[in-house]
Amino acid sequence: MSPSTDTSTFALRARWVIPVASPPIAGGVVTVRDGRILSVERNAVDRPASRTFDLGDAALLPGFVNAHTHLEFSDLAAPLGEPGMAICDWIPRVVAERRRPERDSDAAVRAGIQESVRSGVTAIGEIAQPNWSAPAIESLPLAVNVYLELIGTGPQRAHELCAMADQHLRRTAPPDARWTPGISPHAPYSVDRAVVERLRDMPLAMHIAESRDELELLATASGPMRDMLAALGAWREGTFGGLSPADYIRSIVADASTSGFATAASAKASRTSAPALVVHGNYLDAESLDVLAASQRPVFVVYCPRTHFFFRHEPYPLAELRRRRIAVAIGTDSRASNPDLSVLAELRFLAATFPDVPPAEVLRMGTLAGAAALGRSDECGSIEPGKAADLAAIRLDAADKLTPYEQVLHGVGDVLATIAAGRAVYDPLGLIAAEPIH
């Protein structure tokens, strides 16, 4: 096909191209062919694209990666409850919302996907319910890890959860879809450790060390979380006591070859190098940090900055995670605890909260580190030839004296366009659909 008729090839020019895996490029041009990045150049003149679109005073970045969210709550106009409330008071509100008869979870997921692309997000770690809908996930060509949430305790329930996990892992996406299955044993207080150990060789995400109440329950089998479980009819005597978050972290990072869960589906989905996600980790103690730092399995802590702030938790242990070189990715959690699903807003909040963290590192947490956390770093998370053309254009409004990273993180410019697999899924100003520059 000649350049003049090759509609699958186009180029994007921006004031700054920020590849993340390499230094920013002033006046950079990214060429896309058949949904993948063909080249990344500086002021390229001779390029194979027949169409070059100038994004103007913008930064072109990899699409953001939301490593942890619950899209089922995306129809909420505001977080449930009040800022600073105890998580044991918040969880019953979540349960009640989930049981609301008129809920349309598919519509909420679709709304969350649409909001995500408006926010420059192109990859998602979604915590899904057993009745999750593939069409809702496939409505746009985003890269989505669908972690099936498992909740319940007791031997019979453990058997049921493992059967559910096996069925979920058997599901396959159509050739043009970009979702892949994973498993999410919900939390130490809501699923038996035996289930975690049987599923640990799967792509896995688990809420751990989210609150002080959780730590008290594990250690002493008492406290507000015990009362909450009893009120919900979910308390089982003899389950807790003498435990810590480190015990559960060991369960998910242990040698996968010792797993007791072996079926055709699990063998197909199992990858001993599949990342494990420790979600939140607000109260990781020294022992837990030791286990994470020594893990041979890729393991990521997923920090949800504004959800952490909503509950007014103690300061996040980001400095210690960085000191120990424990990988950190970024999530939004859900609209049940966050005003929106913008990873860019999370990164700007993080940058303001932790000014000592280099801006380049902050941006990496929301892009390439997130892609690695989802096991997709060879596919997305940075602007490199061969990767999927997952891109976000951000309006620049900050002073030139700032670095490109600082202009993105310390400015207030919004998302101008989002491209997923080479397709403009959000382009309200018609920057890409407009007449190109030849």
Q: What is the pLDDT of residue 127?
A: 98
Among 9-18, 49-58, 134-143, 407-416, the range scoring the smallest mean pLDDT is 49-58
Q: What is the pLDDT of residue 18?
A: 98
The values of phi and psi at residue 124, to 5°, are -140, 140
Q: What is the pLDDT of residue 312?
A: 98
Question: 190: closest CA among 160, 232, 128?
Answer: 232
Going by C-beta distance under 8 Å and a sequence separation of 6 or more, which residues neighbour residue 171? 134, 181
Provide the percentage of residues in the chain whose pLDDT is more than 70.
91
Instruction: Between 401 and 305, name the one with better pLDDT.
Output: 305
Per-residue pLDDT averaged across 241-265, rounded? Answer: 73
Per-residue pLDDT averaged across 242-260, rounded? Answer: 79
Cα–Cα dist 139/176, whole Å: 11
Q: What would the two tokens of residue 319 be?
A: 């400095």
Cα–Cα dist 118/70, whole Å: 17
* Residue 335, amino acid: R
Q: What would the two tokens of residue 111 be?
A: 């709304």
**Direct distance between the N- and C-terminal alpha carbons of the chain, in angstroms, rounded to an integer:** 17
Long-range pairs for 97-106 at CB < 8 Å and ≥24 separation? 97/73, 97/336, 98/72, 98/129, 104/75, 105/72, 105/129, 105/131, 105/132, 105/133, 106/133, 106/135, 106/136
- In this prediction, residue 58 has a pLDDT band, given cuts at 50, 70 and 90, of very high
Q: What is the pLDDT of residue 401?
A: 81
pLDDT at 144 over 50: yes
- Which pTM was predicted? 0.94
pLDDT at 265 over 90: no
- In this prediction, residue 435 has a pLDDT band, given cuts at 50, 70 and 90, of low
Domains of the chain by range and CATH?
9-62+384-426 (2.30.40.10), 64-373 (3.20.20.140)
Q: What is the pLDDT of residue 6?
A: 46
Cα–Cα dist 58/62, whole Å: 13
* Residue 120, amino acid: G
Per-residue pLDDT averaged across 244-273, rounded? Answer: 64
Determine the Cα angle at 91 with ends 88 and 92, to 5°: 100
